[in-house]
Structure 1
Amino acid sequence: MDSMTSKPREATGSDLSEQIKAATKDVHVRAENTQLMLNYQKGLITQTQYKLLLCSLYEIYRALEEELDRNAAHPAVQPVYFPQELARLEALERDLEHFFGPHWRTRITVPAATHRYTQRLREIGKSSPGLLVAHAYTRYLGDLSGGQVLGKITQKSLGLSGNRGVSFFSFPGVTSPNRFKQLYRSRMNSIELTEQQRQDLLDEATTAFELNIEVFDDLQKMLSITGEASSDKGNEAKSKRFSSSPVLQFALGVGLTLATVGMGVYAF
């Protein structure tokens, strides 16, 4: 995808953003309906669960943002490169320090699926930088779409105050998420692609969701092993304080996705 260039174009049904939405419709629904995400939307989240989610988000965004930085001048990456507005790494570092203390880096624990996700990001960053656009789009727009709602759910579930521990969900550099998402889509739609490049990018967007689903599933398995699965009866009363609605779409985040686990699940 090295020959990609960008130019202004009017919004049409053939725009890349619309094609990604259509191509990932089914896998998007699957991601939303993983047990971890369903429980999160109901407010069934413990500190242990959230900390594990933050760890995976940190590794995913570290790989994504390092590769975006390294390829910032690439003709496909440059139009959607907004580090000041979108970068999540520093926010995740603050959240991890809040929960783990100053030596949080030595306490990072992630499942095998997270390693596979980061390996994929490193791989395409070296061989096909244009494909990073698929991951950036699905993750960052998911974060912008669901960040405020997910941040409030996390605060209520864990009894947090202010931004302590939930910096990941805040975008101080974005004054209007809706307007910024429009700008982002417009910039991405301006990228010139051959038919094969466009198909490769659509396939990569689906891969991004598949990787997120694998992370969610692996995290749920880890939580079950530690006895922290959010389906515990002790959480049933808490779930009544939350409603599961379409606006609670994720990230991924993270998605934790949420995490952005970015949740990587988006509401375009």
Structure 2
Amino acid sequence: MQDQVQNTFCDDLKQKTKTNHEESDRIVNWKLAVALTDMTLYGGVLADFYYVFKTIEDCLGQLVQHPVICPLAKVIVDLHRAEAFEKDLSFFLGPNWMGRVEPSLPAKEYCDRILAISENSPVLLIAYVHSMYLAILGGGKALKKVIQKTLGLVGNEGLAAYEVSDSEETCLRLGNELIDCINHLPLNAEEKERILDEKRRVFVMNNAIANNVKPTAKSFFRIIKIGLVILTAFSIIGAAIYAYNLCDLSLEKNHG
């Protein structure tokens, strides 16, 4: 009889937050469908998540000497998204967007939370990296296609945030490297439980940004006309499932 393979920490992060993840998918899919009815409305949502990613990356950049998460701070450099978000925001909101677009209240509270834990409990940043960057790596290409088709975009302008690499193999490799890095960080049991709790909080804060999106009369009628909710929901759910399957692929590679 073969010994049972023990779950990795990333397995636990996936499995023990599954319900939170599914609930968040429903909320975010619906609200993204609303946002995608108008370029300016979508640009506002994109700006909120830009501030989130920028704050994560800035905080990790200051922790390259941290005794526990320094490997993660170094690995994440190859996955930085802030500059790509800036390009997309210039496309949707104009070249001077940074001087006039502030984060919404939910996004500001999100960023304030990241700043606080970076100062007081940096290991909790693992929850943010695991949630946000694996989602981009696993589901970015599918999400890019939804946005491109729905907004009628030609070429890749406005889509840089979701394109880590043209190669699916490269995205898979980067995802596995990130998972492997997290799994090998020297975390104790208490820290792992706190990271799990923080990951649940990440979903709540993502939901808060999504729920802040309010449809206009124009967007409401467009949703009805093109059935965008159904298209977006199924596409992004599939992308999210693929992102989480990266954990399983990593396990197979390590134990194959």
Q: Which runs of 5+ in 1 are unaligned?
A: 1-10, 252-264
Distance apart, 1:23 and its partner CA: 2.0
Cα distance change of structure 1 residues 106 and 44 upon mapping to structure 2, 3 Å threshold = closer
In the aligned structure 2, how far is the partner of 1:190 from the partner of 1:87? 21
After TM superposition, list the pairs within 5 Å mapping 1:56-71 onto structure 2: 56-71=48-63
Which of 108, 129, 143 is residue 115 of structure 1 equivalent to? 108
Worse-matched range after superposition: 41-50 or 116-125: 41-50
Worse-matched range after superposition: 85-94 or 179-188: 179-188
After TM superposition, list the pairs within 5 Å mapping 1:1-268 onto structure 2: 12-34=5-27, 36-38=28-30, 40=32, 45-81=37-73, 82-172=75-165, 175-218=169-212, 220=213, 223-224=214-215, 227=216, 230=219, 232-239=220-227, 242=231, 244-245=233-234, 248-249=237-238, 267-268=244-245
Is the Cα contact below 8 Å between 1:100 and 1:107 reproduced in 2? Answer: no
Is the Cα contact below 8 Å between 2:26 and 2:233 reproduced in 1? Answer: no
Q: TM-score, normalised by structure 1?
A: 0.79
Q: Which runs of 5+ in 2 are unaligned?
A: 246-256
Spell out structure 1 runs of 4+ moving beyond 4 A.
Answer: 41-44
Size of the alignment, in residue pairs?
238
Worse-matched range after superposition: 188-197 or 76-85: 76-85
Is the Cα contact below 8 Å between 2:36 and 2:42 reproduced in 1? Answer: no
In the aligned structure 1, how far is the partner of 2:207 from the partner of 2:48? 13
Give the letter for the 2:221 counterpart. Answer: K
Is the Cα contact below 8 Å between 2:35 and 2:41 reproduced in 1? Answer: no
Q: TM-score, normalised by structure 2?
A: 0.82
> Secondary structure of 2:20's match?
helix
Give the letter for the 1:80 counterpart. Answer: L
For each residue in 1:152-191, what CA deviation from the matched residue of structure 2 results, as whole angstroms up to 9, or x when unmatched? Answer: 1111111112221111011138752223222221111111
Question: Identity percentage over the alignment?
Answer: 25
